[in-house]
Structure 1
Amino acid sequence: MTATKVLTAQAREGVGKGAARELRRQGLVPAVIYGDKKTPVTIALPYKDVHKAIYAGGFKSNVLELDVDGTKHRVIPRDYQLDPVKDFPIHVDFLRIGANSVLNVEVSVVFINEEKSPGLKRGGTLNVVRHAVEVHAPANAIPEHIVVDLEGTDIGDALHISKVALPKGVTPVIQDRDFTIATIVAPSGLKSAEAGGEDEAASE
């Protein structure tokens, strides 16, 4: 679990497109805090802080603390909008987190021990099926990433979610199947050689 990041924000009164445009001209990004059966709070955050947080990765799976004019709000980003042309943030939605909140979040996948994979040593390729996995996790224990161990894997092996050690209290959202996260596939040269061998055997 990562340490909780703190972002400083300010309350805003104006709503609507005109007010939002004015905030952006001032170098601010309009946002809203909602949820936990409390009244939504409209806020504005410094553009540079929002841009940095979004492009650092894992933005929508990290719990944040928003300091709004001295009042602290524990939140998780639920959605954000980017300018369709310039890709800079123009709005963010934050979900307020209660003391015992359990959330569905996407967590990135990290692979370790590639050097201990016989399949990769033989020239195989790691074919990543899922770069992130949606999990059900307590708000105070969201993992920074999911670790998939490649030690001992060979060409033709598939790595399923059942073989991944998830932190306590964390479960995959998909429960109806043992889905694949990655496979070790043969190098193209080996595939061609095998195909050629099969063709020769068929012609004999």
Structure 2
Amino acid sequence: MSLTINATKREDQGKGASRRLRRAEQIPAIIYGAGKAPSNITLGIHEITHLLEKEESYTSVLDLMVGKKKEAVIIKDLQRHPAKNIVTHVDFLRVNLKQALVTNIPLHFLGADENESIRLGAILNQFVTSVEVSCLPADLPTSIDVDITNLTLGDHISLTGLNIPKGVTLTALTHGDIEAHDQSVVAVQEAKKMAEVQDDAPVAPETEVAGDEANADNAEGDE
């Protein structure tokens, strides 16, 4: 089931225009990428807030309706009010449905409540909470499940042990030496050893479309 968000074209620009929009329960946004010029749009605050309550919205290809025109996009960036946590601006990146894209996908760890070692006092150490993948938009998963039900004390799951959907590639394992990049994702360890373990989770890179340098240099810089 596709996720749809409605928008209208926006002509007014600048801080004053953005403040007027927000008073009218609307927020400014922009679409860019896919070799096309950036386009300024307006979103309804209630619709975008409701959409963002769904975790899959952050990792799904969305149908953005600007009037009667539909564009395939992903959410590239969100800005929120520092005190109210209200969305104040959204960046959408156009997606070519025939071209692979690179983005981060969250990991869902399942089975902790049924894991015997954890029930007896062991600790589940999550080294990685999301992974970077490359795939066609149609193959993009909203999350990747990691079953830790049967892990015993000292066991771990590495990147090569993840159940990756068909058509999806872990970019960390495409650099030649798989063993050198096959980092641990999760492990069951003794509680007293947790203080000795350093979290080596990689910094999440920005979403990008493979082969397309999405450029928002022409976007408004004053919103």
Q: TM-score scaled to structure 1, two decimals?
A: 0.83
1:7 correspondence with 2:5: yes
Task: Identify the residue that residue 124 of structure 2 maps to in structure 1.
Answer: 126
Classify the secondary structure of the residue corresponding to 1:74.
Answer: strand
The runs of 5 or more residues in structure 1 that have no matched partner are 192-204
| Corresponding letter in the other structure for 1:97 | V
User: CA shift at 1:45, angstroms?
Assistant: 0.7
- The count of corresponding residues between Structure 1 and Structure 2 is 187
Query: Which whole-Å CA distance do the structure 1 matches of 2:136 and 2:129 have between them?
Result: 21
Task: Identify the residue that residue 45 of structure 2 maps to in structure 1.
Answer: 47
Could you list the per-position Cα deviations for residues 47-88 of structure 1 after superposition, in whole angstroms to 9, with x for gaps in the alignment? 012122234334431111111111111111111111122111
Classify the secondary structure of the residue corresponding to 2:121.
Answer: coil
Query: Which whole-Å CA distance do the structure 1 matches of 2:146 and 2:139 have between them?
Result: 19
| Corresponding letter in the other structure for 2:182 | D
User: Which structure: larger Rg?
Assistant: 1
Query: Which whole-Å CA distance do the structure 1 matches of 2:68 and 2:102 have between them?
Result: 29
Classify the secondary structure of the residue corresponding to 1:165.
Answer: coil
Computed over aligned residues only, the root mean square deviation of the Cα atoms, in angstroms, reads 1.8
Alignment of 1:1-204 (within 5 A): 3-114=1-112, 117-175=115-173, 177-188=181-192
Task: Identify the residue that residue 194 of structure 1 maps to in structure 2.
Answer: none
Q: TM-score scaled to structure 2, two decimals?
A: 0.77
| Corresponding letter in the other structure for 2:129 | H
Query: Which whole-Å CA distance do the structure 2 matches of 1:179 and 1:84 have between them?
Result: 35
Query: Which whole-Å CA distance do the structure 2 matches of 1:115 and 1:21 have between them?
Result: 47
| Corresponding letter in the other structure for 1:133 | V
The answer as to whether partners of 1:29 and 1:50 remain within 8 angstroms in 2 is no
The answer as to whether partners of 2:6 and 2:66 remain within 8 angstroms in 1 is yes
Classify the secondary structure of the residue corresponding to 1:48.
Answer: helix
Whose relative contact order is higher, 1 or 2, with alpha carbons under 8 Å and at least 6 apart? Answer: 2
Could you list the per-position Cα deviations for residues 131-177 of structure 1 after superposition, in whole angstroms to 9, with x for gaps in the alignment? 22221121111112111122431111121111011011212222351
The answer as to whether partners of 1:9 and 1:43 remain within 8 angstroms in 2 is yes
Of 47-56 and 21-30, the range deviating more from structure 2: 47-56
User: CA shift at 1:125, angstroms?
Assistant: 2.2
